Amino acid sequence: MSDDEVFDAEEVYARASWKKTLFTLVLLGSVLAVAVFATTMGAASLGMGESFGAVLAEFLPVEEVSTFAQVVVLQLRLPRILMAIITGISLGVAGAVMQGVLRNPLVSPYTLGLSSGAACGAAIAIVLGVGVFGTGRYIIVINAFFFSLLTMAIVYGISRMRGTSVETLILAGVAMGYLFSAVISLLKYVSGHEELREIVFWLMGGLYTARWENVIILIPAVLFFTMLLMRYSWDLNAMSAGEEVASSLGINVNRVRIICLSLSAVLTASVIAFTGIIGFIGLVSPHVCRLLIGSDHRYLIPCSGLIGALVLLVSDTACRTMISPTEIPVGIVTSFIGVPFFLYLLVSRKRRWWQ
């Protein structure tokens, strides 16, 4: 290869990298803009200036802002908006990583049975009042988180018997999903009306329980696990070309696969323990990103997280304003968005996804 060809290749690569970086910044700006706009939306109509003043009044003396506006913005809307962003980032990042690790475009953070495990843990806490670490305010959250990780551990243990192959991981996850779904159905059958109602609401997913303490717990956890997953972006790029290629480059494929799946499982379990099951964000976001900027995981992972945050934030804002003051669980809206896209993926498999 001549020096001119090398220079041209470097120039093309630098131009492509700049475009992807710019796209990431545009996504970040879009999330922030929608978040600001969402503070004005709700049953209580507030102007942009009033909402901004309510936030500013927390740090500076602003006499013009009413106590009502401060309560609405700071205690009700802002925690929910931040929770939507955190949850969307988590599911988008986990979805991108799992699709890359398993090299399957139809994989989502819930494919390995994590959602069914979390739902089973939550149902046990709701119906039986039994918690992994006793009772308390966070019994449902702790149970959901623990059972999600337990599911991942069982799936990994089963897959180890067959050499940790991709097929075994997916099939074991599907089997565990059916098992926990059966347990949930049994708990629904023996539960009372109030417990059944609570289980159904949890399964539909929602951000209506968002509180500042939940946001404070999740922000450092989500940032930490996202940064850890970003460290494996080069390995995921190599694995997308095939396990043989990755192994020839000195990558321990099984080790990277288990680490990435475990981190993604913790990331997913952390948010769904608080929000319930919010479907299709982890499936749709990586594909939208892949269609727009390609499969380079250095950009795909953060962009998938931002698209997930944007989709979930828009969906949740619509859920709480469409029939205000009543709201629709956000899991319903994301499913209406995700199902058509999922069907599109199924009927368009004639193209290659991992080029």
Q: Mean pLDDT of successive 10-residue segments in the chain (355 residues)?
A: 52 74 93 90 73 70 68 84 95 93 84 89 90 78 91 87 77 90 93 89 87 92 93 90 84 88 91 90 89 89 95 90 81 83 68 49
The answer to the question of residue 138 being in a domain is yes
CA distances from 92 to 25, 161, 253, 280, 347 (A): 16, 30, 23, 9, 23
Contacts of 308 (CB under 8 A, 6+ apart): 87, 88, 89, 90, 91, 92, 93, 95, 281, 282, 285
Q: For 244-282, how does the pLDDT look when each residue is reduced to its tens digit (9 = 90+)?
A: 888 888 888 888 888 999 999 999 999 999 998 998 898
The answer to the question of residue 49 being in a domain is yes
User: Per the confidence metrics, is the pTM higher than 0.95?
Assistant: no
The answer to the question of residue 355 being in a domain is no
* Tally of structural domains, the chain: 1
The answer to the question of residue 280 being in a domain is yes
The answer to the question of residue 352 being in a domain is no
- What range does the domain containing 237 cover? 3-347
The answer to the question of residue 200 being in a domain is yes
The answer to the question of residue 189 being in a domain is yes
Cα(63)–Cα(49) distance, rounded to whole angstroms? 13
Here the CATH number for the domain that contains residue 32 is 1.10.3470.10
The answer to the question of residue 304 being in a domain is yes
